[in-house]
């Protein structure tokens, strides 16, 4: 096969997949009422995707914050502006690192679990069994997990940011001797509502993207052990690349 042919086939595959994802998303919207009438299903998924990710999010957040504290202190002290450390750390976390790193961690911790779980349900005929029982598996399985992710990611991002700022404070104020009052007052001075909103917007978009990829890959996984394994890998790869691309697009759009 010639290179042009191969490229054309890849392109067709990509477009076809995009179409499949769109149809899947529309299918979930149609099944939305079913899940909304059963909030217990959704809260269970918020627990699975959100609460169970807390440890990894908080640990990572604290260490990322501490690194920002160190690097920020180093940079600002060259300019003799150590007092700005609080503002610098908060802006970095709120606008960029918080949403991005949380989404990447979410894909690795919760996204893979979602894909593997749904893929195994398909492989063991659980999804077929529901269909035969006249229960829509989209409403029962896909939508609650999707919503659980969409709700969890912004909340996890907020927690990541808070813990991260504490990490930066710990290194900057406690270890490096930045003035405690200056750390917080400069943060208040320079962080604006728009910065916070940018972070919230990103975390919501990333949450939708990461959850959609995870649920879609699981739902359409080939019903074999190998197929589920491949789908899980695809979840991490696709989400990671997608989040970084979306991050650039949102940033460029907002600036």
Partner 1 sequence: MTDAQADRPMIEVEDVRFSTAGRVIFDGMSLTVLRGRITAIMGPSGTGKTTLLRMITGQLRPVSGRVLVDGQNVPGLSRHELFALRRRMGMLFQNSALLTDYSVFDNIAFPVREHTRLPETLIRNLVLTKLQAVGLRGAAQLMPTQLSGGMGRRVALARAMVLDPDLLLYDEPFSGLDPISMGMVLRLIKVNNDVLGVTSVVVSHDVEEINQIADYCYVVSGGRVIGAGTPDELKRSDSELIRQFMSGAPDGPVPFHYPAPDYRQQLLNEGQRHD
Binding site for partner 1 (CB under 8 A): 120-121, 124-126, 128-136
Select 21 or 120, whichever has its Cβ closest to partner 1.
120
| E-state strands within 79-119 | none
Select 77 or 128, whichever has its Cβ closest to partner 1.
128
Q: How many helices (H) and strands (E) does the chain have?
A: 12, 0
DSSP state of 176: T
Closest separation between CB of residue 131 and partner 1, Å?
Answer: 6
Closest separation between CB of residue 53 and partner 1, Å?
Answer: 18
Select 127 or 212, whichever has its Cβ closest to partner 1.
127
Q: Are 52 and 131 in contact (CB under 8 A)?
A: no
Closest separation between CB of residue 183 and partner 1, Å?
Answer: 46
Number of residues assigned to the chain: 255
Q: Are 91 and 190 in contact (CB under 8 A)?
A: yes
Select 79 or 134, whichever has its Cβ closest to partner 1.
134
Closest separation between CB of residue 134 and partner 1, Å?
Answer: 4
Residue 24: closest CA among 202, 201, 145: 145
Cα–Cα distance for residue pair 254/194, rounded to 1 Å = 10
Select 39 or 177, whichever has its Cβ closest to partner 1.
39
Cα–Cα distance for residue pair 70/77, rounded to 1 Å = 11
Closest separation between CB of residue 111 and partner 1, Å?
Answer: 18
């Amino acid at each position: 096969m010639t290179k042009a042919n191969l490229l054309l086939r890849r392109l067709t595959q990509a477009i076809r997949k995009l179409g499949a994802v769109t149809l899947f998303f529309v299918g979930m919207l149609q099944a939305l009422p079913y899940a909304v009438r059963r909030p217990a299903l959704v809260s269970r998924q918020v627990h699975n995707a959100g609460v169970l990710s807390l440890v990894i999010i908080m640990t990572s957040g604290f260490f990322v914050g501490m690194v920002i504290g160190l690097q920020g202190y180093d940079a600002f002290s060259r300019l003799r502006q150590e007092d700005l450390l609080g503002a610098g750390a908060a802006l970095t976390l709120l606008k960029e690192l918080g949403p991005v790193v949380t989404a990447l961690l979410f894909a690795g911790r919760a996204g893979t679990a979602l894909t593997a779980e749904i893929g195994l349900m398909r492989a063991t005929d659980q999804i077929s069994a529901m269909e035969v029982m006249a229960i829509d598996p989209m409403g029962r399985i896909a939508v609650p997990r999707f919503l659980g992710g969409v709700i969890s990611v912004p909340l996890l991002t907020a927690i990541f940011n808070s813990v991260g700022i504490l990490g930066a404070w710990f290194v900057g104020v406690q270890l490096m001797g930045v003035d405690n009052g200056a750390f917080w007052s400069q943060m208040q001075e320079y962080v604006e509502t728009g910065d916070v909103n940018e972070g919230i917007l990103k975390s919501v978009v990333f949450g939708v993207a990461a959850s959609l990829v995870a649920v879609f890959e699981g739902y359409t996984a080939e019903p074999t052990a190998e197929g589920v394994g491949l789908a899980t890998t695809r979840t991490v790869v696709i989400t990671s690349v997608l989040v970084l691309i979306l991050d650039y697009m949102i940033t460029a759009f907002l600036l």
